[in-house]
Amino acid sequence: MTTLTKLSKRSILGYGAGDAANNLAFTTTTMFLLVYYTDVAGISAAAAGTLFLIVRIFDAFADIFAGRMVDRTHTKRWGKFRPFILFGSLPLLVLSALNFHIPQLGESGTLLYAYVAYAALGLAYSLVNIPYGSMAASMAQDPKERAKLASARTVGALLVGSVLGIFVAPLLKAGTDLQPVFSTVTISFVAVGFVLYMFTFFTARERVRRDVPKVSFKQSVATLKGNKPLLMLCVSSFVFLSGSLALTTVQIYYFRDVLHHLELVPVLSIVQLLLTLGAAAVMPGLVARFGKRTIYLASGLMMAMGGAVVLFTPPAMLWLGFTGFVLALSGINGTNIVVWALEADTVEYGEWKTGVRSEGIIYSLFSFTRKTGQAVGGALAGYAIAAGGYNGKAAQQTAEAITGIQVAAGLIPAVLAVLAMAVMVRYSLTDKVHATMVEEIRARRTRIDKGRAFDAGSSDGGSPASGVADRGAVQPASNPPAATPTA
């Protein structure tokens, strides 16, 4: 398998289609599942918050399981990642629809169904999303090309979010029967999502050489051990996702119950779509000029500022609250564009240290922390509106309930964005350092391919990584590159 420099437009578009399909399940649940629970299924906001916390933590462990499945898989016909998309996509989409069709089985029965359906959806999502996300590191190594893939998946996700905001959100009026709306939307998404997944399956291909097709558990652990850039990225993403999920979870509540203008949700979606399309177009150039870490920090600042505006804006100041929401969501989208490219860089860091590429376990650990962040963020949102006394059957909410919604949409995202930035300030796997490591990895491969003897560089005449080399892997250098990461 060779390492190519340029990705075709078709493969970039196909990769973006995969995240559009992912978000027919993911964004639909993050935007509307709490509304469905409280306004249709009759589940209390507090019980829903606890459900999100427990099931999403289960989902996080499902990601680790899926990562090991990916590292253990290698097919001659479809490679490591695409079989999961081929066989796992349809069950995922069907389970997504079932989460919005909860039968009335009494209070306990309804809640039990919700737990089981959401947990099953989480497991199915892990078995598709982990290989999908891991595949980016195997499609390109160049920072600009990875930025294109990251932009493509962000645009794909945003297009789905825009469709939901423009066409679905305005239908979710308080005090009305919402089940027909959710039934029509989720069932149609099964067909649309499957077409998108198949487009990804046939266009996105692995291009980066790997020396160990199937990675053992011991090798997977070795690639994680000492990968400080991955650890810092995981911590920052956990905190950031907790804040962003709190905001997006209560988006409908904020515009419907605080600003009393649900019709602004489509406007928000259109504005967000235009801004993100523009950002995606210029992001590869910005990454080349400023680096991914700088873009990440700037986007976090935007989210913090937007959250502060949402928190302190009185409901009567409609357009100021709207502007704050736009600013916060723009920061979230900016971060989401570069965070996937940052994660892919940590794959090379692990390979540089151990000689083994282990995309599956690295991506799954990263996704694990993001899932736990989503769990905390969704729970915080549910608890915040429950503390304010939100009533899902009321056409008008109390002042205390409105404050609870503003805390979930403003205070929580702002504080957590600042904390996420504080972690990333010390992140030192810069694009320059990454480029140095990639060149050294390529040089090692060249030496092995030519059959040259490798200098173990140890005093006892043996190499600490000789067991890896014996299996055909690329050994780590005896001397680190000049720009050794210290993160």
470 domain residue, yes or no: no
The count of residues in the chain is 487
The DSSP secondary-structure symbol of 214 reads S
Residue 467 is predicted with a pLDDT of: 36
Longest dimension (CA), the chain: 77
Closest CA to 49 of 368, 371, 384: 384
* pLDDT at residue 482, rounded to an integer: 41
What does each of the 487 residues of the chain score in pLDDT, given as a tens digit? 444 468 888 999 999 999 999 999 988 998 889 889 988 998 888 898 899 889 988 888 888 888 888 877 777 888 888 999 999 999 999 999 999 999 888 888 999 999 999 999 999 999 999 899 888 878 887 777 878 888 888 888 888 988 888 888 888 887 778 899 999 999 999 999 999 999 999 998 887 765 555 566 666 666 677 788 888 999 999 999 999 989 988 888 899 888 988 888 888 888 888 887 887 778 878 888 888 899 999 999 999 999 999 999 998 899 999 999 999 988 998 888 888 788 888 888 888 887 777 777 787 788 788 888 888 888 898 889 888 888 877 778 888 899 999 999 999 999 999 999 999 999 888 888 888 888 888 887 777 667 644 344 444 444 333 333 333 334 444 444 444 433 3
Buried b (16+ CB within 10 A) or exposed e, 134-149: bbbbbbbbbbbbbbbb
Amino acid at site 267 = V
How far the first Cα of the chain sits from its last, in Å, is 31
pLDDT recorded at residue 483: 40
C-beta neighbour count of 2 within 10 angstroms: 6
Q: How many domains does the chain have?
A: 1
By C-alpha distance, which of 148, 127, 157, 128 is closest to 30?
Answer: 157
- C-alpha span between 333 and 337 (Å, rounded): 6
* 475 within some domain: no
Give the pair of three-digit tokens for residue 73: 């898989």
Q: How many Å apart are CA 301 and CA 372, to the nearest integer? A: 22
Please, are residues 392 and 39 in contact by the beta-carbon 8 Å criterion?
Answer: yes
> Residue 455 domain-assigned?
no
Residue 446, in any domain of the structure: no
Sign of torsion over alpha carbons 209, 213, 217, 218:
negative
Q: What residues make up the domain containing 296?
A: 9-436
pLDDT on residue 252: 85
Torsion sign across C-alpha atoms 128, 129, 132, 135: negative
For residues 454 and 462, what is the distance between their CA atoms, to the nearest angstrom?
A: 11
User: In angstroms, rounded to a whole number, what is the distance separating the alpha carbons of residues 397 and 383?
Assistant: 16
* CATH number of the structural domain spanning residue 321: 1.20.1250.20
pTM of the model: 0.66
Q: Is there a domain that residue 449 lies in?
A: no
Q: Which helix (H) or strand (E) holds 264?
A: helix 264-290
Helix spans in 313-465 (H): 318-354, 359-387, 399-406, 412-424, 431-449
Residue 452 within a domain: no
Containing 304, the helix (H) or strand (E) segment is helix 292-312
Joined tokens for residue 110:
């309804």
| Per-residue confidence (pLDDT) for residue 441, from 0 to 100 | 82
Within a domain: 2 = no
Q: Which residues of 343-368 are buried (b: 16+ CB within 10 A; e: fewer)?
A: bbbbbbbbbbbbbbbbbbbbbbbbbb
Task: Specify if 267 maps to a domain.
Answer: yes
- How far apart are alpha carbons 153 and 12 in whole angstroms? 9
C-alpha neighbours within 13 Å on the C-beta side of residue 115: 13
